[in-house]
């Protein structure tokens, strides 16, 4: 005879709950007014009470097992996350001659605005800190010329490309026209293709871009759920040392014809380590980290900086740390004393890792946290001051200040 299947803690709890509901049904039946003329006997009460007590004891036991089960699961998850982050940061096995080249800024052809293209990633391993909101608004500020040049003069609208690297596609859904987006999804012309170099030979880069709502100078590479699957496959290939999967974005973006087309390329990264977020970092000149000005966000800053620093060092990347950006502050005009305190903690945390970035003297003299910040707005879902897409010129002054400070940091 086969032995009964061993139940998992969640199954045990489900079973206990079934028993509990059955008991409850019996009690309700006895106590409903229809049956109340038949007063239950003391023996019946006692029997029910005993059954209830037994059920309660078993449920407590099951709850303890469930608690332990989840703690074990959390430990396992933590180990998996640690293992996967070390996969991303480990040195490449490729010979130097085989590593796809990073074109130094000085060697790039002239971009439409007369300068050189800058590639920037917005990263924080914590979700919901405002990466997408800030990236979209910065696209709008740069593409509508709402930023100042190094001499403080008004700038011309810049040509901007933004790449959605989160399979949830928040940026795509907010900043592209739904029908156009649907078309791109149906044809598979999305950021998923960027994790495929064979696609590079078959798909023209421009086919991957769609218009950014309301901004004639900006374009967007959208993302959809297919990116999740591809990201995981690329992780497995790298982990099993079958394929070096971290240089694809460099291959796609470091091309003269792309540099000639865009002044700025922004990557909106997911709150996870994925083939896409690592790829963005490998292709970028600078990385900025949106964060909330709250004490419990310092841990995420620490984790993100640690990962950024290690990846940079182990892969010998050129990427510079642009700085942390405070989002969702309480006031428009300035920071509260508590926010100032947290800003300082964030700054000290970032400073611990800045040696990884081999900064120039000018860069290391700058604060690790930008002066410009973004206040919390009541309409929670705002992109560019609206609920939906971006409208030229509709950006809020806080984003003009932020764009100007970012421009100084990446172009000086
Ligand atoms: N300054 C702000 N004021 C009010 N709401 C904001 C602000 N910044 C972001 N939000 C809101 O907070 C939510 C999360 O923002 P967003 O999607 O930009 O974060 P994220 O870091 O990109 O998240 P994820 O990690 O999931 O990609 C959104 O609903 C957004 O509208
Ligand atoms: Mg996002």
Alpha carbons 354 and 175: distance in angstroms, whole number: 33
Return the pLDDT at 383. 57
Stated pTM of the model: 0.81
Return the pLDDT at 130. 93
Provide the greatest CA pair distance for the chain. Answer: 94
Q: How many residues does the chain have?
A: 412
Of all ligands present, the nearest one to the C-alpha of 291 is: 1
Return the pLDDT at 4. 65
Going from the C-alpha of 357 to that of each of 220, 313, 315, 366, 409, the distances in angstroms are 29, 8, 12, 13, 14
Alpha carbons 77 and 64: distance in angstroms, whole number: 20
Return the pLDDT at 328. 92
Return the pLDDT at 268. 98
Return the pLDDT at 379. 47
Burial class of residue 52 (count of CB atoms within 10 Å of its CB; 0-12, 13-18, 19+): middle
- E strand or H helix at 400, and its extent? helix 397-411
Ligand 2 geometric centre to CA of 223 (Å): 11
99-411 under CATH 3.40.50.300, yes or no:
yes
Alpha carbons 40 and 63: distance in angstroms, whole number: 32
Return the pLDDT at 168. 95
Given ligand 1 and candidates 121, 123, 124, 128, which is best to mutate, with the most ligand atoms within 8 Å of its CB? 128
As given in the structure block, the two tokens for residue 192 are 């998923």
Return the pLDDT at 50. 85
**381 in contact with ligand 1, CB cutoff 6 A:** yes
State which ligand 1 atom lies nearest to the alpha carbon of 290. 21
Return the pLDDT at 47. 82
Return the pLDDT at 388. 45
Return the pLDDT at 391. 44
Ligand 1 geometric centre to CA of 267 (Å): 16
**330 in contact with ligand 1, CB cutoff 6 A:** no
Q: Tell me the average confidence (pLDDT) per consecutive run of 10 residues in the chain, 412 residues long.
A: 68 82 78 59 79 84 83 74 79 92 97 96 95 92 89 90 97 93 96 85 90 93 96 88 91 96 98 95 98 93 95 94 96 94 97 92 93 78 48 68 96 87
Among 152, 171, 198, 146, smallest CA distance to 402 is for 146
Handedness of CA 74, 76, 79, 81 (dihedral sign): negative
Ligand 2 geometric centre to CA of 180 (Å): 20
Ligand 1 geometric centre to CA of 131 (Å): 7
**174 in contact with ligand 1, CB cutoff 6 A:** no
């Amino acid at each position: 005879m086969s032995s009964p299947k061993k139940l998992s803690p969640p199954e045990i709890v489900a079973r206990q709950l079934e028993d509990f509901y059955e008991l409850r049904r019996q009690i309700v039946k006895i106590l409903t007014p229809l049956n109340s003329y038949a007063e239950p006997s003391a023996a019946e009460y006692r029997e029910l009470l005993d059954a209830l007590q037994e059920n309660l004891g078993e449920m407590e036991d099951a709850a303890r097992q469930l608690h332990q089960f989840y703690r074990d699961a959390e430990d396992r998850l933590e180990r998996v996350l640690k293992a996967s982050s070390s996969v991303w940061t480990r040195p490449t096995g490729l010979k130097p001659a085989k590593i796809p080249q990073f074109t130094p800024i000085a060697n790039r052809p002239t971009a439409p605005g007369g300068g050189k293209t800058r590639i920037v990633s917005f990263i924080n391993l914590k979700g919901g800190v405002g990466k997408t909101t800030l990236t979209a608004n910065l696209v709008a500020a740069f593409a509508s010329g709402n930023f100042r040049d190094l001499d403080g003069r008004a700038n011309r609208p810049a040509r901007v490309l933004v790449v959605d690297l989160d399979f949830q596609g928040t940026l795509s859904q907010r900043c592209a026209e739904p029908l156009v987006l649907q078309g791109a999804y149906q044809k598979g012309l999305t950021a998923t293709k960027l994790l495929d170099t064979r696609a590079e030979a078959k798909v023209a880069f421009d086919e991957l871009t769609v218009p950014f709502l309301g901004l004639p100078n900006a374009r967007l590479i959208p993302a959809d759920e297919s990116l999740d699957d591809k990201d995981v496959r690329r992780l497995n290939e790298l982990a099993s040392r079958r394929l070096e999967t971290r240089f694809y974005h460099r291959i796609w973006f470091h091309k003269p014809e792309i540099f000639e087309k865009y002044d700025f390329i922004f990557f909106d990264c997911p709150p996870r380590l994925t083939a896409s977020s690592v790829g963005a970092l490998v292709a970028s000149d600078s990385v900025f980290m949106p964060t909330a000005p709250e004490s419990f966000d310092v841990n995420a800053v620490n984790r993100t900086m640690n990962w950024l620093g290690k990846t940079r060092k182990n892969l010998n990347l050129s990427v510079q740390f642009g700085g942390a950006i405070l989002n969702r502050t309480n006031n428009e005009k300035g920071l509260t004393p508590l926010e100032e305190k947290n800003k300082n903690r964030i700054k000290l945390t970032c400073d611990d890792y800045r040696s990884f970035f081999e900064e120039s003297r000018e860069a290391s003299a700058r604060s690790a946290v930008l002066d410009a910040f973004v206040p919390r707005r009541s309409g929670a879902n705002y992109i560019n001051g609206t609920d939906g897409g971006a409208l030229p010129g509709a950006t809020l002054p806080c984003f003009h200040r932020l764009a100007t400070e970012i421009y100084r940091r990446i172009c000086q």
